[in-house]
Structures are given as C-alpha cells and as structure tokens.
Structure 1
C-alpha cells in the first residue's frame, strides 16, 4: 500500500536529514608544524583519525537506520570537501554502508576548509591568530587567505546549488526512499553552513563552539517541513555547542513549524535591530520622535 502511494507522488521530496560532519583527527590537529611543510589540502588523517572515521560511519548508520523504522528503504548521498583528510574520512565512513544504500558522492570545492594562506610559519601564525581574537573571528581575513565571511559567501553559493539539486530531483532515485544528505567538511565551514541556514547573526556565530573530530550535527526534517537540530539533539547538546536560549527556542519551534512559517518570537528577525518600535501608527510616538530629533538638529546648528 505504501508503494502505491509513493508512486502516485512524482514530486521531489525533501531529504529526511542533512548531516554535517567534521573530518577525523588530522596530522595538523596533532601538530601544527605539519602546515609549514605540507599544503593544507594534503594534510592526512592520523591513525586515530582513521579509527574515528570508521566508528563515525557505524554511528551514522545507526542514526539513519534505527530512528525511523517506518521506512527501511533509506538512502544516503554524500558531499565531500576535496581535502585529503575529508576524503579519507569519507572512505572510512563508507565501510559502514552497502552499495545499495549509497546513491552517489559529489566532491564539492565550496565546502573546503577556510584558507589560511599557503605554507604557514608557526610563530607568525600564532601572532595572526591572537590578532584574530581581538578583531573578531567572523570578519578577520588571514593574510593571503580568507575570513569566515568569505567562507560564508561560498557556502551560500553551495546552498543554492544544493536546493537546485533537490528541486530538480537529481539526488533521488526512488521517491519511496528516505534520503539523507551527509556533508563531510570542516569545523568552521560547518558552523557557517548552520549560520546561513538558520539565519543566525554574526554575534551568534562568534559564540558557537567548533565541532570535534568526526562529530556531526543532524538537521532533521520536522512534520511541518522545517529542519531543526532539536529533533535529534538534546537541549544540553545545543547549550554545549554555544546556542543561546533564544536560538534553542527557535530550534524547538522549527521542529513543529510548517514550512515557510514566520517565527514571530525570534528576536533576531526584528527586535535585535531596533531600540524601540511604536506599537501602532496611532500612538503618536513617531511624531514625538520626529520633533525631538528636529529640535536636536536645530540646536546643533
């Protein structure tokens, strides 16, 4: 009966989950001196990182296969950064999935690591990172490299392509299958992805904590058609990752909201940007503010 219903609906269906994963422990994570002699994109995983990725694959398999027993016909589609450490992570993860479960893989350059420049000089990089802490992580641009704002721009472009793939049904072979998109990338890139998706502000981004090696975040589709971190993850986890009470409340709202609804209680959609807004046009408050401003201008002249 379920098969008949599925075949009668040829329209594209949203992925059940979008999962963001950071690569396993790399040689650069273990010893920053690796960046002085090896290009960032060629930094390999350590033995620990390979083991982490193998275990993460088993964990991902359990998450995808055990939560929803109503539809055992789930499938996965991978996006992966072109860096050595992310591709190696994917290779180990793939050991937990059969060929019939994997629809495809796409290498995506736009989800690569933030560019820190070319070969790095340790003492110079230490001073640069200290300056970044003073300047602000989002807007600080590494010499000969990128800022997090630059990463935001290319992640935004990737998201447009991702939605186009979904809308054009390029990722789904059978509408009866629950589709899970798994994006294997880097810590900052994953945080920027979440920032863009959930419309978080720069200030909110600055308080987010990085993902650990092979940690992942599950954006799961709610019944109303919105994605939320609060469906799979606990409130304690969201707090640990640096989400504020308001951000957590928004995630809980998204878990039950209808797609396209506006969260009127979300402060950074309106209230954060104004000191005070009149409740109505009839309050006379706008006229009072105009007169006060006009008087100040005249006095200054």
Structure 2
C-alpha cells in the first residue's frame, strides 16, 4: 500500500517514488579514490603535481572492488530497473578510480558522467616539501582542521564554499531531471572524490557544525559512504551503515540518533536538528523554558 510523506513522495513496497516532477535519487554514494602513489610515499608530492598523482597497483584493485560493491548494493533491493549517474573530481587518481569502478557497470546502466572541479582535493599549495608539510599539519591539528588555511592553499571552510556551490548545482540537475535517462528507473548518484571533500559534503548536507566536522575521520581509500532515502523522505547514513561504523567515522551519539530519525521517522514526523532540544540547548541552555518574558505570558508561534 502506498504512503505519502511530507516531501510529496510515495513509499510503496519499500521503494520511494515522488509525486512531484523531481526524480529524486534513491542513493547518493560517496567514494574516496583508491590508494595513490603519494599515499605510499609522501615524497611524491615534492616532484609531482597533486592533480597528476596516479593510483598504485593496490589502488586499482581497490577501485575495482568498490565497483563490485556498489553494483551489489544497487542490485540488492531486487529492483532491476535502475541506472547510475557519476560525478568525478578532475584529479588523475579519482578519474582512474572511476574507470575501474566503471568496469562493474553495464553501459546501459550509466545515465551519464560529469567531471566536476568543485569536488577536487583540498589545495595544499603547489609542490609540497615533506618536512614543511609535517609542521603545517601539526599547526592545523592545533588550530582546527576546518578553519586552518594552508599557505598558498585552502582551508576546510574554503572547500565548504565550493562544495556548497556544487550541491546547489546538483539539486538544480535533480529538479530539472537532467540525471536520469528513464524517469521510471531508480536513480543512483555516485560521487568519486577525496577524503576532506567527502567529509565537507556530509557536513554541508546534514548541516553539521565546524566542531562536529573536526571530530570526523577521513574515509579510507575506496571506502564507500551511502546516503539513502528513508521513510521520512530525508537521506540518511543509517540505512546502509550501522551504529558502530558511524561512531568510527566520528559521529557523536546525537548525530547518529539524527541519522536514525532520518531513516525511520514516519512521513512528516522528522524533527530537524536546529529544532532538536539537544541542539537548542547548546545555545540557549540558560534561557527560561517557560512561555513568559518579564512576568508576562507570550503567545507561542
């Protein structure tokens, strides 16, 4: 039996369909690139431009395995009518990762692919000196990963700005149905990017704070993080990933609880984080919770 939720969507036999013109993706799948030559030997950063660093032999196999895992995931729901649209960072190691992931996908399942500069790696400057970078990263850890800016490079907040711009474009593509070759097919978006960019993407999507961001762990090479559409009409990490996994990624108990609500809340019953008591109390813990101001009753909105 079909159910409608507050996002004008229909949940029927476990599948999410939407009654408006937008064809919302079932999943948004984030993948970090495979092991690179610089992941093995940081000296590579000193003589090879970051965007030209290639995958290692193990990185190629990691990417192929990631492709098989993603294919198994989208097939596991039993829906044989699906396709995938890919976004990829312009760096050599991410493009190579996508090529290996793509080996698992029949061509008729690929709705399209776009090279997207805004999801590139954080800029650390040009050629990197290993000893100098070691000191700079120590400074970053003391200063805070989100706001620290590398000399001649970017801060995490700079990456946040361009990832935010990418998300606006992504939603515009979704709104205009540019990503699906078949409106009746289940759509999966796969984004092949970098560790910090993936964390920033999640921060921006779920409206996490800078403090929450600093507690996050970077994905491992070719680790997959999946946002899936829940019964609430919101995307959640808690559908494909268990509590222990989310905790290992650096999510707090409150963040994990929010992911579960996104996954399992009844249509129209999800409570946005900025209205949750635990979050309000981080700013208004000393404020009287009554409905009176200076002894006078105030009408509630």
Report the TM-score, using the length of structure 1 for normalisation: 0.88
User: Are 2:53 and 1:43 aligned?
Assistant: yes
Q: Alpha-carbon deviation of 1:122?
A: 1.2
Alignment map for 1:1-301 (pairs within 5 Å):
11-66=21-76, 68-69=77-78, 71-257=79-265, 258=267, 261-263=270-272, 264-265=275-276, 267-268=278-279, 270-282=280-292, 284=294
Q: Aligned partners of 2:118 and 2:292: how far apart in 1?
A: 50
Is this contact kept in 2: 1:246–1:266, CA < 8 A? no
Which structure features the higher share of strand residues?
2
Rate the CA distance shift 1:84–1:277 in 2: closer, same or farther, 3 A: same
Q: Alpha-carbon deviation of 1:274?
A: 2.4
Rate the CA distance shift 1:13–1:259 in 2: closer, same or farther, 3 A: farther
Q: Secondary structure at the match of 1:272?
A: helix
Q: Alpha-carbon deviation of 1:266?
A: 5.8
Rate the CA distance shift 1:78–1:285 in 2: closer, same or farther, 3 A: farther
Q: Aligned partners of 2:80 and 2:282: how far apart in 1?
A: 44
Q: Aligned partners of 1:74 and 1:105: how far apart in 2?
A: 16
Q: Secondary structure at the match of 1:138?
A: coil
Q: Aligned partners of 1:232 and 1:140: how far apart in 2?
A: 32
Q: Alpha-carbon deviation of 1:72?
A: 1.0
Which structure features the higher share of helix residues?
1
Q: Alpha-carbon deviation of 1:259?
A: 6.5
Q: 1:248-289 CA deviation, whole Å, 9 max, x = no partner?
A: 000000113447953343633x22122322223426479xxx
**What value does the CA root-mean-square deviation take over the aligned residues?**
2.2
Q: Aligned partners of 1:168 and 1:285: how far apart in 2?
A: 52
Report the TM-score, using the length of structure 2 for normalisation: 0.88
Rate the CA distance shift 1:260–1:21 in 2: closer, same or farther, 3 A: farther
Q: Aligned partners of 1:65 and 1:213: how far apart in 2?
A: 23
Q: Secondary structure at the match of 2:292?
A: helix
Is this contact kept in 2: 1:81–1:109, CA < 8 A? yes
Q: Alpha-carbon deviation of 1:11?
A: 1.9
| Unaligned segments of structure 1, at least 5 residues | 287-301
